[in-house]
Amino acid sequence: MWKRLITWLIFIIAVLILAAIMLDRWISWKTDPYIFDDLRQLPEQKVAIVLGTSKYYKGGAFNQYYSYRIQGAINAYNSGKVKYLLLSGDNAQQNYNEPMTMKKDLIKAGIPASNIVMDFAGFRTLDSIVRTQKVFSTNEFTIITQRFHCERALFIALYSGIEAQCYAVPSPKNMMTIRFREVLARLGALADLYILKREPRYLGKPETIPAQYTAPTGIQGYPAVSPAELQALESRSQNKDTPSIH
């Protein structure tokens, strides 16, 4: 009785593991044509979304996944493969802001701030990909992340009818644990898409890439406004708001 029960339990576990491996390989196979390891072969797109991750581990060690993604974004921009960088990541805590951290490092590397857009509601890969389409009105874009992450992100994009491609940046050598977690993440993504039909946690109002600004008239070289021009604007505004005495 017990032997038969244990045998069936082992069989069920083996089937589940085999199914997980097959689904993992299926996602890799389905998305492979849209992944580019060589930047020279990457087709040009207007927008590239950089998927966020923490810059440092909890112990304080530097996260190489982060540095490879930032360098990949710099390379893609400087080579003319993309014109704008959309930085999507978690901003759930006051002292943890993935998009802002990425923006600071990209500006230090010489990327103009005017060509950087931040998405603070990229809590999960699904949120980042779907929000790029629904919030930022971009249906064709490049994803920048590691290959294993490219595959899951592209699978979500394909399911959502998004025409995306991925620039696969290098991965650190020791990634066995990360790869195991990725298998679980892919199973979670399949459940989100096909069973739970999940949408991004937060959508919000539509935004544009690049961001639209209305320039005041009569100012030279906007948006580089000099202190004197700014003071003149403020004085003019105060005079308009002061009621006339007759």
Q: What is the pLDDT of residues 85-99, one digit of tens each?
A: 999 998 877 678 999
The model's confidence at residue 221, banded by pLDDT at 50, 70 and 90, is very low
Query: Looking at domain 33-195, which CATH architecture does it have?
Result: 3-Layer(aba) Sandwich (3.40)
Tokens of 176: 């066995």
The residue among 124 and 237 whose pLDDT is bigger is 124
Give dist(CA 69, CA 73) in Å, integer: 6
> For 168, which DSSP code?
E
Q: What is the pLDDT of residue 145?
A: 98
Q: Which segments of 86-136 does DSSP mark as H helices, in order?
A: 98-108, 125-134
User: Residue 229's Cα: distance from chain center in Å?
Assistant: 37
Task: Say whether pLDDT at 240 is over 80.
Answer: no
Return d(Cα 25, Cα 17) in angstroms, integer. 12
Task: Report the percentage of the chain scoring pLDDT > 90.
Answer: 69
User: HSE-up of 203 (CA within 13 Å, CB side)?
Assistant: 10
pLDDT at 227: 56
Task: Read off the amino acid at residue 236.
Answer: R
Domain boundaries, the chain: 33-195
